Structure 1
């Protein structure tokens, strides 16, 4: 039985526009994007950046930056951080807009001596808490303790040692990435390769386009699908890219040749037609040359109870290795950066579940995490090169967003296991005890 939500999990922040994309900008900064579109509804379009921290009992978030994008809703994006500057590539209708994201330490001129803008979130008892400057400093003290350092001795020391990271966003180049002629073109997905040299886009015209990055010059255009592309993902070694589409095809391409490497083929239940919805690669023990491919698939045109599948594929042959059925259509997928956990979000109930990647055993289920379908999931990183991961008492934590405007977090508590040496010692003691007992009663 998978554990249910802990009281400390749930709502991190509420935005005043629908959310469609989420990613980690740094090891402790969340980037979410969305909007209400170009219609005059009064609903904004843009990005929000939140700082995430753990106060010793639960996760908290604080707004750092809000950037509005005018009439252009952001449906998808990809981020790349090179240390000094980050790149944000955002899908805005038929175009991909690049933004420079420049981090900087907050100064007094920026208002560093003032309380930052708080984010409302429910406390364990249902009350709304706000994090100000002193609370921010207190969380810094928690990080000192968690990382084995001696905490500052006073609140003044805390305030002096706590430095907030701010971001400046500047629009850069823009390129058109979709050219559908029969109706409105739309970029559906953008990805940046792990080595930071390539960008891939897919949209309604079914073409898989590979761009150099960060120059964003077109390198290859592959007629990959007959219908719109729903998702893409680069393999961790940046040698392959997977593409899935509404034409029911799941394809893996060799980037060195631009040719098809293999198709994803499986025996569907009762011969029903299924469509792949999302695809994600995951490493095995954090090795980029050893990885798995995960997909989610939903039935097409099925009336009544929907039954989606979470699937694990062999990357060499393209054969299905393992699959688990879920009593609902699925909408989102995420794999943790070390490849140990997979998470899925559902279409109708807004639920989130977490699985062990190797066995696809469910270890966490959050029913009705959102009031509408889950549009995006993102695990908190543990191998992020841009800084140490957030110290917490959880084994894994995943962020979820939805068109219900909410940013939520769901964490798996540390599963207590007996060390191997202790198990062996226990067995030896038990055998010895049985031997003594048998000797005593004369058996």
Structure 2
């Protein structure tokens, strides 16, 4: 049975604009973006970066920097960090904006300093010592706009819908309302291929961490697997839909298969186009190298967000109507945590805290933790407690005892 509870971890931060995208910037810094758009509503557009820590009882988030983007709402973004260079790319209307992100080591007592471009290093108050607060030195970030390229060319209201950076950091993929997938050399943003992939707007893209795969899904109902190094289509993923129903893919994410470093699984969520009756959304697990749908789990409402942890162990889902968040075991698609009503509106993004041996990784007593955002302006976190297991020594004793009593019983019965 899944562990179901109200959100014990709950609210990490609240911003003053709707949130549409979330990414881990470092192992302990999360970036969220969104906004109110170009309309003169007084709602800002931009990014905020928060530093995460754990005080032994709960997760804590502290604002590090805020960067406003004028009239351009931030609907999608992707980050790259190799510990030498830190880049951020963001969809802003029909263009993709590249940002150089510079880290600055400061002391907690540093005076407020204006650094231009709607950014500032804010004074940080002294904090109670936590697992990541051994001294007063902290990272701040300076976000500087760099190159910008047009990535969508629809005649009427072009819009970049998604951007992804490949795991080798050499390729960037963008997709938008014109249905084309464009591949760019990264970080110089030189166009390599234009893939005329779909007849309608693209909903999501993702790169495989293992193979040269790129998946694209769109409102035309297609899921196309590409070899992104060659810019060529490999296969189209199809499944037997319930009779009398039509489903569209909503989100797609690759994940590594535990114990198989060079093989990936593909997870997708799909929703019915007809919301009447009791039609349900589905979480699907595919083996992309074989084009096979190997597992599927039905959910009692439409789905809006999907994330896979970097080690491939867990998958997280966010729902459309109830604003709920769930965590699943990736191998079996067994739900192990359910947070009903985590947000007051639909979940727009999910991101797992990374798994790393890095000493700067946020630590806690949980087995997994996932961040969620919504247009309700909230950043929340949900943690999965370590599940109870039988120790190996106890399992061995139980097996030996079972065999012994089986032998005694058989001897007594003369079998």
The TM-score by the shorter chain falls in which range?
Answer: over 0.9
Q: Does 1:391 align with 2:384?
A: no
Cα displacement (A) at 1:306: 4.4
Q: Does 1:315 align with 2:288?
A: yes
1:425 and 1:240, CA in 2 relative to 1: closer, same or farther beyond 3 A? same
1:271 and 1:436, CA in 2 relative to 1: closer, same or farther beyond 3 A? same
Partner residue of 1:425?
397
Partner residue of 2:345?
372
Q: Distance in 2 between matches of 1:223 and 1:410?
A: 39
Aligned Cα root-mean-square deviation (Å):
2.4
Partner residue of 1:403?
375
Q: Secondary structure at the match of 1:427?
A: helix
Cα displacement (A) at 1:243: 0.0
Retained in 1: the 8 A contact 2:80–2:165?
yes
Partner residue of 1:281?
254
Partner residue of 2:98?
98
Partner residue of 2:45?
45
Partner residue of 2:332?
359
Cα displacement (A) at 1:285: 2.3
Cα displacement (A) at 1:3: 1.1
Q: Distance in 2 between matches of 1:439 and 1:211?
A: 74
Retained in 2: the 8 A contact 1:63–1:117?
no
Cα displacement (A) at 1:271: 3.8
Partner residue of 2:154?
180
Partner residue of 1:154?
none
Retained in 2: the 8 A contact 1:236–1:288?
no
2:126 is matched with which residue: 133, 141, 148?
Answer: 133
1:251 is matched with which residue: 217, 224, 241?
Answer: 224
Deviations 1:361-420 (A, max 9, x none): 0000000000000000000000377x6432210000100000000000011000121233
Q: Does 1:270 align with 2:263?
A: no
Q: Map 1:28-67; keep pairs closer than 5 Å.
A: 28-67=28-67
Q: Does 1:164 align with 2:138?
A: yes
Q: Following TM superposition, where does structure 1 have runs of at least 4 consecutive aligned residues deviating by more than 6 angstroms?
A: 115-118, 434-443
Cα displacement (A) at 1:143: 4.3
Retained in 2: the 8 A contact 1:337–1:383?
no
Q: Distance in 2 between matches of 1:98 and 1:384?
A: 29
Q: Which runs of 5+ in 1 are unaligned?
A: 119-131, 145-157
Q: Secondary structure at the match of 1:424?
A: helix
Normalization by structure 2: what TM-score? 0.92
Cα displacement (A) at 1:315: 1.2
Q: Report the structure, 1 or 2, having the larger strand content.
A: 2
1:204 and 1:436, CA in 2 relative to 1: closer, same or farther beyond 3 A? same
Q: Map 1:111-260; keep pairs closer than 5 Å.
A: 111=111, 132-135=125-128, 138-139=129-130, 142-143=131-132, 161-181=135-155, 183-237=156-210, 239-260=212-233
1:29 and 1:432, CA in 2 relative to 1: closer, same or farther beyond 3 A? same
Q: Which runs of 5+ in 2 are unaligned?
A: 113-120
Retained in 1: the 8 A contact 2:108–2:136?
no
Q: Secondary structure at the match of 1:164?
A: strand
Q: Secondary structure at the match of 2:397?
A: helix
Partner residue of 1:127?
none
Retained in 1: the 8 A contact 2:254–2:264?
yes
Retained in 2: the 8 A contact 1:8–1:57?
no
Q: Which is further off, 425-434 or 354-363?
A: 425-434
Q: Distance in 2 between matches of 1:318 and 1:439?
A: 53
Q: How many pairs align?
A: 407
Q: Secondary structure at the match of 1:106?
A: strand
Q: Distance in 2 between matches of 1:256 and 1:418?
A: 46
Cα displacement (A) at 1:108: 6.9
